[in-house]
């Protein structure tokens, strides 16, 4: 009878993933089942993106992939090969906050702050989509991002401020 192989010999090898993360090319070695959320938090030490429900229902894990908002808990890291991923850490330009980050601070659009990174990333993606015209549109298009503290009125006000600034300037801040 042959001896059983060691337990780690039965595990699949880590897969290499090359992506652009917050403007920098990064190489990851992850198991094929590793979510983008876990890759960000555990492998890249980017803890701004939060794990809320881990089922795609709360939006705390929202990041931008090629400018579009996604739930990183429902996305495999290996699917990011060649893609551009932007997290909350990648929105600021050095010490200069993104206009939505500034507006969230100015309008106190957070309480505990847990959902804030996902709210801001989702709002950036929503504004890029260009479908929001009214406060009701903002509420509907942000409905995938939950705030258990109930800061919704201030979140809408912050987004509205940036949205109005974009339409006056004719472009993205």
Residue 123: CA count within 13 A, CB half-sphere: 32
Q: Report residue 47: phi and psi, to 5°.
A: -95, 5
In the chain, CATH 3.10.20.30 covers 15-90
In the chain, CATH 1.10.150.120 covers 99-169
pLDDT tens for 69-107 read: 999 999 999 999 999 999 999 999 999 999 999 999 999
For 15-90, which CATH class? Answer: alpha beta
Give the pTM.
0.89
Single out the residue of 38, 128, 123 nearest to residue 88, CA to CA.
123
Which pLDDT score, from 0 to 100, does residue 124 have?
98
**Whether pLDDT at 169 is above 60:** no
- Where residue 168 falls among pLDDT bands split at 50, 70, 90? low
End-to-end alpha carbon distance in the chain:
69
pLDDT tens for 94-143 read: 999 999 999 999 999 999 999 999 999 999 999 999 999 999 999 999 99
d(Cα 82, Cα 124) in Å, to the nearest integer?
21
CATH topology of domain 99-169: DNA polymerase; domain 1 (1.10.150)
């Amino acid at each position: 009878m042959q001896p059983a192989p060691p337990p780690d010999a039965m595990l699949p090898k880590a897969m290499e993933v090359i992506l652009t993360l917050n403007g920098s090319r990064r190489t990851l070695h992850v198991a094929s089942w590793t979510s983008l959320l876990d890759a960000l938090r555990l492998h890249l030490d980017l803890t701004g993106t939060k794990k809320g429900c881990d089922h795609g229902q709360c939006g705390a894990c929202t990041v931008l992939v090629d400018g579009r908002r996604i739930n990183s808990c429902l996305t495999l890291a290996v699917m990011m090969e060649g893609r551009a991923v932007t997290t909350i850490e990648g929105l600021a330009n050095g010490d200069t906050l993104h206009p939505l980050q500034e507006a969230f601070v100015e309008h106190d659009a957070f309480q505990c702050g847990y959902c804030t990174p996902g709210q801001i990333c989702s709002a950036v993606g929503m504004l890029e989509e260009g479908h929001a015209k009214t406060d009701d549109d903002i509420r509907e298009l942000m409905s995938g991002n939950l705030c258990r503290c109930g800061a919704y009125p201030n979140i809408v006000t912050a987004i509205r401020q940036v949205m109005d600034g974009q339409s006056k300037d004719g472009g993205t801040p």
